[in-house]
Amino acid sequence: MVLAALAAVLFFSPVVHKLQRMVDHLFFKRHLDTLAAIRALGAGDLADLPVENIETALLERICEICHRTYAALDERIEDTGKLFTHPVDSPVPMVGGEVSAGYELALPIERRDGISWLHLGPRSDGWETDEEEIKSLTSLSRFAAMSLEHARLSHTQIQDARLDSLSRMAGQLHSHDLKNRLHDLSFLAHHIGSGKLDAEDTSRMIAAIRKVVGRMQTLMQRMADPQAPIYPTLIPCDVSGLLKKSIADRLWPEGIHVHENLPDLPAAAADSAMLQGVFENLFDNAVQAMQKQGDIFVEALQADGMIQIRIRDNGHGIPKAFLKQRLFRLFATSKESGLGIGLYLSKRIIEAHRGTITAESEGEGKGSTFITGLPLWQHQDNKLKEDVL
């Protein structure tokens, strides 16, 4: 009888233990749920955290899903690198893979430059850690390492993209818009300081300085948020008169010759300040395309219930593929130092006027023509009356 009882105990003990583990897994969710853990340690939202919080956030999640009182990530390979702990006052593990005082496990994590270690403290629920859980934790530590590397890489890529955008923006400001405006201010200041101007000329120069400062302010606003909503204040606008004034007030390079065909036309419905910004951008592009040497042709006419403005240059032209697919898209540019904001914003401004803007070019080296269409004020006034009725 005794032998039979012993045999029964020896035979059924593993079965009973296994059954107990199954019941525990089913009714007491204290063992590691690998799939849930992987979801909790996903790299996506880790990458959204500030770079200095990634490691501690990862350790906090590991403690939560593994029921650990504390944890440490040791990247001090040969006394270099850093140690991260959660909570901050957790025990400091020894460098290397030995289980340090206060910790229950030290799990290796392979890296390109050596081995790091994930140290896990005792369970917060007092349960023992068995071999099955150790295997799950080992797999989890590898996935946590991949999540951490992915989050760090995402931060690096975001930082690189921001630096690249900043560099491109600074390059454009230096080589194009801001540089041109500063040159204008320097030119005006030189003439005012020469002492050779009478009161009328001085007054005209001061007005020109105010205009240049206004253009610089518009530039800063354009760079700050190119996708901000645009709400033009539409009033009757003499487009030919606005173009004549823009051309006359602009400080053109000596090698640029502007040819005007600007007859008297019916008023268009436009916000003159916004519209002038569009013309200035088109003039800037034309000057750049011709490398400050060539002819610009500006004409306005009435066609199909619209005021049509055509600005043509004999510069380097636009490649057909770029013209068709990318020209007016945000950040699309064919210039080495361009940022790709000016034409995108010009298109948004004109479309906010219920107008159109397109471009034509026979190809590289054959110049470009930008055609802007604005609705007549009479038509706009009728449309407003219809909206009210």
For residues 176 and 281, the answer to whether their CB atoms sit within 8 Å is no
Q: Is the pLDDT of residue 17 over 60?
A: no
CA-closest candidate to residue 234, choices 103, 354, 122, 66: 354
CA distances 72 to 115, 160, 239, 315, Å, are 14, 29, 69, 63
In-domain check, residue 7 = yes
| Judgement on whether residues 43 and 188 belong to the same structural domain of the protein | no
pLDDT, residue 260, reads 96
Shared domain check, 96 and 47: yes
Q: Are residues 383 and 239 part of one domain?
A: yes
- One domain for residues 384 and 374: yes
Gyration radius of the chain over CA positions: 35
The torsion of the CA quartet 72, 75, 78, 79, rounded to 10 degrees, works out to -70
| Structure confidence by residue, pLDDT tens digits, 145-181 | 887 877 777 767 766 665 565 555 555 554 455 666 6
**Taking the complete model, does pTM exceed 0.75, yes or no?**
no
Q: pLDDT at position 339, please?
A: 57
The residues, any chain, with a CB within 8 Å of residue 375's CB and separated by 6 or more, are: 268, 269, 305, 306, 307, 353, 354, 355, 383
**170, part of any domain:** no
The tokens for 300 are 């306005």
Number of domains within the chain: 4
Residue whose pair of structure tokens reads 């419905």 in the numeric block: 269
Query: For position 70, which CATH number holds?
Result: 3.30.450.40
Q: Model confidence over 310-334: pLDDT tens digits?
A: 999 999 898 888 888 788 887 766 6
Q: Do 327 and 365 reside in the same domain of the chain?
A: yes
The first and second tokens of residue 371, run together, are 């055609």
- Token pair recorded at residue 58: 């990862």
Amino acid making up residue 222: R
Residue 234: CATH number of its domain: 3.30.565.10
Q: Is the pLDDT of residue 356 over 90?
A: yes
| pLDDT value of residue 357 | 95
Domain presence at residue 269: yes
For residues 331 and 313, membership in a common domain is answered with yes
Identify whether residues 24 and 35 lie together within a single domain: no
Q: Are residues 118 and 208 in the same domain?
A: no
Please name the helix (run of DSSP H) or strand (run of DSSP E) that holds residue 3, with its range, or none: helix 2-27
Higher model confidence: residue 33 or residue 241? 241
pLDDT at 38: 57
More confident residue, 226 or 273: 273
Q: Residue 34 — pLDDT band, cuts 50, 70, 90?
A: low
CB contact at 8 A, 90 and 73? no
Q: Indicate the DSSP class of residue 52.
A: G
Backbone angles phi, psi at 340, to 5 degrees: 80, 40
Pick the range with the lowest mean pLDDT from 29-38, 193-202, 227-236: 29-38
Domain end among 186, 208, 223: 223
Q: Which pLDDT belongs to residue 334?
A: 64
Residue at 171 is within a domain = no
pLDDT value, residue 178: 62
| In-domain check, residue 83 | yes
User: Which token pair is 246?
Assistant: 């823009």
Q: At 281, is the pLDDT very low, low, confident or very high (cuts 50, 70, 90)?
A: confident
Amino acid (one-letter) located at 366 = K
| Predicted local distance difference test score (pLDDT) of residue 58 | 85
- 46 and 23, same structural domain? no
Band the pLDDT of 189: cuts 50, 70, 90. confident
Beta strands in the chain (DSSP E): 71-74, 83-86, 105-111, 114-120, 235-237, 256-261, 268-270, 294-303, 306-313, 356-360, 368-375
The pLDDT value given to residue 275: 93
Of the three residues 223, 239, 254, the one that is the final residue of a domain is: 223
What contacts 24+ positions apart, CB below 8 Å, involve 319-327? 319/363, 319/364, 320/361, 320/363, 323/359, 323/360, 323/361, 327/359
- In this predicted model, what pLDDT tens digit does every residue of 60-85 receive, in sequence order? 888 888 889 999 998 887 666 788 99
Query: Are 122 and 183 within one domain?
Result: no
Distance CA(115)–CA(108), nearest Å, equals 6
Name residue 112's amino acid.
R
| 83, 183: one domain | no
Does residue 164 lie in a domain region? no
Does 298 lie in the same domain as 269?
yes
Domain extent for 273: 230-388
Average predicted confidence (pLDDT) for the chain:
77
Rounded distance between C-alpha atoms, residue 114 and residue 303, angstroms:
72
162: number of Cβ within 10 Å: 10
Q: Is residue 165 part of a domain?
A: no
- Provide the pairing of β-strand 83-86 with 114-120: unpaired
